Amino acid sequence: MDVRELKIAGAYHCVPDTFPDARGHLASPYQEAAFTAATGHGLFPVRQTNHSRSRRGVVRGVHFTTTPPGQAKYVHCSQGRALDIVVDVRVGSPTFGVWESVVLTAEHPSGVYLPIGVGHAFVALEDTAMTYLLSVGYTAAHEQAVSVFDPTLDLPVPHDGTVILSERDRDALTLAEAADRDLLPHYDTSLAVEAALYGTPPAEAHTRPGTVPGTPGTPGPQGSDA
């Protein structure tokens, strides 16, 4: 398995080998040894799994969880194909406002790890099923959203009126509006919650060479399609 850290500090794309034969193929979207070698810890204790089915053109997100309690996720595509988007909504993060996208498919399954406090969205490129492993169970009062159409984020989402959204996602606040209402997770708090989850020192979590924890990045079209 190849594990690559994304532009968003603490988020990873995990790509396993795929083994095809006459029957089909076999792949392991999560592998503990490779994940631990890249991140310094294994996956969180799984408290809930979710399975979503989406028609082609559905967009879900940008979703995040009030922190604390926060929620870490491990996501992979179990049917179809999706453009998976990770957005740093942690106030004070060195990559605040930055996004990165990867294409997840069932044919060549890979997983995305989202740390505490990070936002998540995806575009169903065909009829698609997504599987989520979650560090905490669902609580409606803790679930928040930022608009996928926020022009300062400039996410790779169609703007031609063809996408299918829930009412909540269509009416979601912009990143700036959510920040003004103090709804966004804070970077230092997110690190502390994640450190408690894994038993690691928060000061060492997600720190990249040449970055200073707590220094905000600049929101804007800073993502890349992979």
Q: Identify whether the C-beta of residue 98 lies closer than 8 Å to the C-beta of residue 222.
A: yes
- The rounded distance, in Å, linking the Cα atoms of 78 and 107 is 9
Q: What stretch of H or E contains 85?
A: strand 81-87
Report the predicted TM-score, pTM, of the whole model to 2 decimal places.
0.88
Q: Identify whether the C-beta of residue 220 lies closer than 8 Å to the C-beta of residue 154.
A: yes
What is the set of active-site residues? 63, 132
Mean per-residue pLDDT over the chain, rounded: 90
Res 24: pLDDT: 87
Task: Give 160's pLDDT tier (boundaries 50, 70, 90).
Answer: confident
- The rounded distance, in Å, linking the Cα atoms of 197 and 72 is 9
Q: Identify whether the C-beta of residue 12 lies closer than 8 Å to the C-beta of residue 5.
A: yes
Checking if the pLDDT of 218 tops 60, the result is no
- The rounded distance, in Å, linking the Cα atoms of 52 and 203 is 35
Checking if the pLDDT of 212 tops 80, the result is no
Average pLDDT rounded to a whole number, residues 75-83:
97
Task: Give 207's pLDDT tier (boundaries 50, 70, 90).
Answer: low
Q: What stretch of H or E contains 26?
A: strand 24-27
Residue with tokens 């997983």: 111
